[in-house]
């Protein structure tokens, strides 16, 4: 059996255009309801959520990279794709 790809397709979009598009091992977004952030891994269960303000991080092969500091947004996860619509 072939091993499935362990990467998550990530798109982070703002009103000014694309902030980040690519693959990562994880997406970390600030939670609106809790102090702890939300971690999205490859093949995460489908999810739609509001996100709070703070740093958005992507885990790449070389480590975590902060790709944006946001002021709230909406996260959609499905079909191994995470799309984050944000105010920056």
* Per-domain boundaries in the chain: 8-86
Instruction: State the average pLDDT over residues 25-52.
Output: 94
Q: How confident is the model at residue 5 (pLDDT cuts 50, 70, 90)?
A: low
Count of other CB atoms within 10 angstroms of residue 73: 23
Q: What share of the chain is helix, strand, coil (3-state, %, to 5)?
A: 0, 60, 40
Pick the CATH number of 8-86 from 3.30.70.890, 3.30.360.10, 2.60.15.10, 3.90.1720.10: 2.60.15.10
Tokens 């499905």 belong to residue? 78
pLDDT at 35: 81
- pLDDT tens, residue by residue, 58-87: 999 899 999 999 999 999 999 999 999 998
pLDDT at 4: 62
pLDDT at 88 over 90: no
């Amino acid at each position: 059996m072939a091993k499935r790809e362990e990467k998550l397709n990530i798109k982070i979009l703002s009103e000014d255009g694309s902030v980040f598009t690519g693959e990562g091992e994880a997406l970390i977004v600030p939670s609106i309801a809790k102090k702890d952030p939300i971690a999205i891994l490859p093949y995460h269960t489908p999810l739609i959520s509001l996100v709070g303000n703070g740093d958005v991080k992507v885990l790449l092969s070389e480590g975590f990279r902060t790709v944006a500091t946001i002021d709230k947004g909406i996260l959609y996860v499905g079909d191994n794709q995470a799309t984050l619509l944000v105010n920056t």
